[in-house]
Structure 1
Amino acid sequence: MSMISQKARYALRALVALTRAGEGESLMISEIAAGQDIPKKFLEQILLELKRSGIVMSKRGKAGGYLLLKAPGEVSFGEVLRIIDGPIAPLPCLSKIAYRRCIDCRSEDDCEIRHVFSKVTDATRAVLDRTTLADAIGEVDLLEKAS
């Protein structure tokens, strides 16, 4: 699993902010940018990408801004990472959305490196694809109550 990009971290933080705003509530780009410490121009590009993918929508007018189009329980971290950063797999031969045989590959079946990273990738995918925006804010809220 490669490190997630700054862009993906910003996308997830913006989506968490929209989740916390509540169902059907919109936030202005400037509100999200200030609240999450994200450069406004960069945030505009990220939200456009998320809009094209059907995760958020924009509203015009006085109460305008961005809001979640999908329910927070339907948006997984894995989906967002694939939209922003592309494949989650650390090796091209393990990618579901961009499979490529490794250039110097003799045999995928006999590749020790592939076998180890296959386990890493499966575990990573399991967590990212099962964890939704709703889960993420629920876990943070539980931690805050416990402390």
Structure 2
Amino acid sequence: MISQKAKYALRALLALAEAGVGQSMQISDIADGQRIPRKFLEQILLDLKHRGLLSSRRGKNGGYALLRAPDLITVGEVLRLIDGPLAPLPCLSRMAYRRCEDCDGEDDCRIRRVFAEAHRANTAVLDATTLADMSGGSAHHRILGAG
């Protein structure tokens, strides 16, 4: 399950994607339009800025803007930045790999095998879906081959 923070981050990024790369939006406009608490949104946008997804400008025409095109930002990337590793088991994580303490061997672990398959399917969708896909509503059709 994704956190509320990740959900708000995706909604804010989608609003910025629809505004266009380099086009600033003020926090209040994003908060009101996406129904996100302003103080929480400020923290989220600052995190995304520090992680290289957004820029910010002060002043009358200031606000936050995307640094990269929406088709270059994936859902998987955003979730990892906000919530951390996506893997359901530490032995499956790319970002935070750690051997399970009670494991007799990863190659023989039947639990790991099932969760590895589920994790591959999950990350395939999340890493293939971009903000542009979400904005256009085409992600579901493109990823699942539903034409």
Same fold (TM over 0.5): yes
Unpaired runs of 5+ residues, structure 2, are: 142-147
Q: How does 1:106-125 map to 2 (within 5 A)?
A: 106-125=104-123
Q: Deviations over 1:87-145 (max 9, x none)?
A: 000000000000011111111111111000001111111111111100111116x99xx
| Equivalent AA in structure 2 for residue 85 of structure 1 | D
Shift of the alpha carbon at 1:22? 2.1
State the match for 1:57 in structure 2. 55
**How many residue pairs are counted as aligned between the two chains?**
141
| Equivalent AA in structure 1 for residue 93 of structure 2 | S
| Equivalent AA in structure 2 for residue 139 of structure 1 | G
Superposed structure 1 runs of 4+ greater than 2 Å apart: none
Q: Deviations over 1:37-96 (max 9, x none)?
A: 111111111001100111011011111000101110110001000000000000000000
The alignment-based identity, stated in percent, is 64
Could you say what the CA RMSD is over the residues aligned between the two structures, in angstroms? Answer: 1.7
Unpaired runs of 5+ residues, structure 1, are: none
Q: Given the two structures, how large is their TM-score scaled by the length of structure 1?
A: 0.92
Partner Cα distance (1:89, 1:33) in 2:
30
Partner Cα distance (1:73, 1:22) in 2:
11
Aligned residues of 1:12 and 1:80 also touching (Cα < 8 A)? yes
